[in-house]
Amino acid sequence: MVLLGNLTASPAATGIRQIRQAQRADGPASVLAIGTANPANCVRQDDYADYYFGVINREHLTKLKSKLHRICKSSAINKRYFHHTEEMLRDHPELIDRTLPSLDTRMAIAATAVPELAVAAATRAIAEWGRPATDVTHLVVSTYCGAHMPGADLRLASLLGLAPSVPRTMLYLNGCNSGSTALRVAKDIAENNRGARVLVVCAELTLILLRAPEDEADKATLIMQALFGDGAGAVIVGADANRGSVERPIFEMVATSQTVIPESEHAAAGRLSENGLLFRPAVEMTTLIRENVEQCLVDALGPLGLSGGWNRLFWAVHPGGPAILDGVEAVLRLDPEKLAASRHVLSEFGNMSGPTVIFVLDEIRRRQGEHGVGRDGLGVLLGLGPGISIETIVLHATGNY
């Protein structure tokens, strides 16, 4: 203890503290730019049941097809985008034949397709940012569509021309809250490394989830096929944007938190198997979120003086499905316009898992604060994912749309 006391008071210790302080940013991390991308193959939700049963060669399952029609009709989705095409599925029958192992095929396709989709979103974010890709200092990448070493992060860095010295963080299998998780990691990096500019990219392909139903009673598979779409979202995160520079902070990231609803691990769980990613959310998932989300928000936002009075905040809620949005809106007693951006993204793209909240942020700023952003500009990004994990990021909209 004496040695520790002497070290603490020593000139060396003082110098270390000064070095540490000099490494930290002075202000909060901010979203400096946003980019999104989708594959070219667009399928209207009204046509999806015909499309799906056609590509899986199950036209004879008329009862299941009618059930999928009904699910699609109530999904609040107008269209979705997919990397896989009818031609691809004809060339790879193992992707739709449950008796054949398909993980190797799915991984091989993802190894190329995920980085390419990620590049499309990242390129748009970098272009909006206004600085060259070589100014990116850190990279955070998230996906559930892949399990490679090295991963999509290294391929993405190469395609973008990032320096070999750029530190990379690769996040796998975080599910629908992966976008908020990646942003939380980026906030910590940016605020603890002065001058850091973190490129965050989330990219997902439903190819990893695509499968035919097991039998006439397999409603869970139909629900998965009816909700999820493909997409990528990219964000540039940095603190202390230079005045007079090309950088224009869009959202300041004030605070972050994550919690797990007790005894909910079974409600949203998945695993990689020979037939891809098996993910079947439990029927009580929506109820668990509805019953617990407000208390989770009180615990996270209460210390900041923001709990209650939820309508004075703007909301970027992960649109996992219409029932989830309806539940959050009802329990928080939100005005309808508060979730307008989330509902729009669900309608136009479906649930893209992690990238979806990035699309929602993009939609909020695209509307230039017309819907749901109050005078003080404070809001909450709400990520919902396996666990059931509830992740919050308190945001401040700067008005630099």
Residue 2 lies inside a defined structural domain of this protein: no
Q: What confidence category does residue 3 fall into, taking pLDDT thresholds of 50, 70 and 90?
A: very low
Q: Is residue 333 in a domain?
A: yes
Say if residue 276 is in the same domain as residue 339.
Answer: yes
Looking at the 3D structure of the chain, how many domains does it have? Answer: 2
pLDDT surpassing 90 at residue 279: no
Mean pLDDT over residues 320-336, rounded? 95
Residue with tokens 């009816």: 226
Range of the domain at 180: 32-239
* Beta-carbon-side half-sphere exposure of residue 127 (alpha carbons within 13 Å): 8
Residues 318 and 327 sit within 8 Å (Cβ to Cβ): no
Does residue 381 share a domain with residue 275? yes
In a domain, 183, yes or no: yes
Buried b (16+ CB within 10 A) or exposed e, 355-370: bbbbbbbbbbbebeee
Establish how many alpha carbons lie within 13 A of residue 129's alpha carbon, considering only the half-sphere containing its beta carbon.
28
Report the predicted TM-score, pTM, of the whole model to 2 decimal places.
0.93
Taken in order 258, 261, 266, 267, the sign of the CA dihedral is negative
Residues 93 and 165 in one domain: yes
Q: Tell whether the model's pLDDT for residue 22 goes beyond 50.
A: yes
The CATH number of whichever domain residue 293 belongs to comes to 3.40.47.10
Q: Catalytic annotation on 72? A: no
Instruction: Compute the mean pLDDT over every residue in the chain, rounded to the nearest whole number.
Output: 90
Domain assignment of residue 201, yes or no: yes
**Residues 193, 152: one domain?**
yes
Would you say residue 13 lies in a domain? Answer: no
Across residues 327-353, what is the average pLDDT?
Answer: 96
* Structure tokens that stand for 62 in this block: 């008329």
Cβ density class 215-226: b for 16+ within 10 Å, e for less? eeebeebbbbbb
**Among 206, 239, 272, residue at a domain's last position:** 239
In this structure, is residue 376 part of a structural domain? yes
230 shares its domain with 256: no
pLDDT at 399: 77
Of 209, 239, 269, the one marking the end of a domain is: 239
Do 86 and 65 sit in the same domain of this protein? yes
- CA angle 8/12/15 to nearest 5° reads 100
Structure token digits, residue 80: 């979705």
Tell me if 217 is assigned to some domain: yes
Tell me: the pLDDT tens digits for 108-119? 999 999 999 999
The four Cα atoms 138, 142, 145, 151 give a dihedral, to 10 degrees, of 30
Same domain, yes or no: 197 and 259:
no
Are 261 and 229 contained in the same domain? no
Query: How do beta strands 314-317 and 378-385 pair?
Result: parallel
Judge whether 24 lies within some domain. no
* One domain for residues 161 and 263: no
Catalytic residue among 42, 72, 145, 176: 176
Quickly count helices (H) and strands (E) in the chain: 13, 13
79 and 170 in a single domain? The answer is yes
What contacts 56, CB < 8 A, 6 or more positions away? 89, 96, 212
Categorize the per-residue pLDDT at 142 as very low, low, confident or very high, splitting at 50, 70 and 90.
very high
Boundary residue ending a domain (239, 268, 294)? 239
What is the end-to-end Cα distance of the chain in Å, rounded? 54
Chain segment 23-40, per-residue pLDDT in tens: 787 889 999 999 999 999
Q: Are residues 274 and 219 in the same domain?
A: no
Same domain, 196 and 307: no
* Phi, psi for residue 42 in degrees, rounded to 5: -110, 130
* Residues 200-209: tens digit of each pLDDT: 999 999 999 9
Question: Which has the minimum average pLDDT: 131-135, 279-283, 324-328, 345-349?
Answer: 279-283
% the chain with pLDDT above 70: 94
